Amino acid sequence: MAYSAEVVRRARARLAQAKEDRASENRQHLERAYAQVPRIKEIDMQLRRTMAQAAQAAFQQGGGQELLDRARQENLALQRERERLAAKYFEEGYLDETPICVHCGGSGYVGANMCECLRELCRQEQKKEVTILSGGKETFSQFRLDYYSDRVDPKYGRSPRQIMEKVLQNCRQYAFSFAPEAGNLLFVGNTGLGKTFLAACIARVVADRGYSVCYETAAHLFGKLEQARFNPSEDSRREAAKLTECDLLILDDLGTEMPGQFVTSALYSLLCDRLLAGKPMVITTNLNVDEVSRRYSPQIASRLYGGFQRLTFVGEDIRVLKNRGY
């Protein structure tokens, strides 16, 4: 998974904190044990001494082996006594200095690979990010097909409900089987037909499955790119880089941003970068192909309408229906 540097940074900070908490807990247990059973403190001091002796013996010629054996035996006897005392006075595991993770010891890495413990924290941080951005708790099962008419529309030869059932099914399948080669979706249709809702559902499921997801409204996304371009800082550059690097980019409401030359060129490079890298996108828009062509450029229209699987949203504006009390 390509987690952004920011997500990994937050996850590592949490792991470091957890490791520190565990270490300080271990220290407290030890202090309490020393106060309550002074013999344990003596044993620990003796253990350190026999360890030092063993190290010395290892460097001695001739009689070294005998010394080493004696130190080792003494060491074992002390350890056993310590275990007996611990079992007698404290609950199980009280004096075990167990690391926060048995695989990586709390460093977060096993060799060059990220340990599962840090991966899990990355997933959690990633999920937070999507929740912050889309703000909701949209789930596929909340999608109300009954808002769409079941009367056959002669224009499509099917009812809006049948069409939207298929759209919902496509979105579900996309989200639950999402992989780096998942391809791109383009949601086209008027306002209030559930495009944003289903895009947010996809964001949540894909992020839950451990992928990095950026969810942005068009206005917000171009704002970020503008910052990075005209007011570059460490932060703004990192934010902009995320848009190109994340596993899935969801661009909501394309066409609602302020138009301009910058928007057109930024959109074009973003599309090209991601298409070239084979990184999936979901884009929602009210614009049809001609409108995209006029508003941005024919090249962008051909990228959008050629490189994306198009899902057409139909029906009546759900917000209007809700206001009428449906």
* Residues at the interface with Zn ion (CB under 5 A): 101, 103-104, 115, 117
Query: Smaller CB distance to Zn ion: residue 104 or 243?
Result: 104
Residue 63 beta carbon to Zn ion: minimum distance, rounded to whole angstroms: 44
Q: What is the identity of the amino acid at 107?
A: S
Query: Smaller CB distance to Zn ion: residue 95 or 101?
Result: 101
Query: Smaller CB distance to Zn ion: residue 103 or 172?
Result: 103
Burial code of 3-29, b = ≥16 C-beta within 10 A, e = fewer? Answer: bbeebbebbbebbeeebeebeeebeeb
List, in sequence order, every residue forming a beta bridge with 214; answer none if it has no partner. Answer: 249
Query: Smaller CB distance to Zn ion: residue 102 or 132?
Result: 102
Q: What DSSP letter does each residue of 255-296 carry, written as one string?
A: T-SPP-HHHHHHHHHHHHHHHHHT--EEEEES--HHHHHHHT
Q: What's CA 284's distance to the chain center, in Å?
A: 22
Residue 114 beta carbon to Zn ion: minimum distance, rounded to whole angstroms: 9
Residue 128 beta carbon to Zn ion: minimum distance, rounded to whole angstroms: 20
Query: Smaller CB distance to Zn ion: residue 104 or 250?
Result: 104
Closest by Cα among 294, 224, 231 to 259: 294
Residue 103 beta carbon to Zn ion: minimum distance, rounded to whole angstroms: 4
What is the total residue count of the chain? 326
Residue 208 beta carbon to Zn ion: minimum distance, rounded to whole angstroms: 21
**φ and ψ at 310, to 5 degrees?**
-95, 130
CA distance 48 to 283: 64
| Residue 251 to residues 71, 166, 189, 222, 223, Cα–Cα distance (Å) | 68, 22, 15, 10, 13
Q: What is the identity of the amino acid at 292?
A: V
Query: Smaller CB distance to Zn ion: residue 122 or 251?
Result: 122
Residue 18 beta carbon to Zn ion: minimum distance, rounded to whole angstroms: 10
Burial label, 170 (beta-carbon count in 10 A; 0-12, 13-18, 19+) = middle
Q: Position of tokens 């990010």?
A: 129
Q: What is the identity of the amino acid at 151?
A: R
Query: Smaller CB distance to Zn ion: residue 103 or 295?
Result: 103
Residue 22 beta carbon to Zn ion: minimum distance, rounded to whole angstroms: 12
Residue 119 beta carbon to Zn ion: minimum distance, rounded to whole angstroms: 9
Query: Smaller CB distance to Zn ion: residue 13 or 76?
Result: 13
Q: Position of tokens 């309490």?
A: 32
Residue 316 beta carbon to Zn ion: minimum distance, rounded to whole angstroms: 52
Residues ≥6 apart with Cβ < 8 Å to 240: 224, 225, 227, 228, 229
Query: Smaller CB distance to Zn ion: residue 75 or 107?
Result: 107
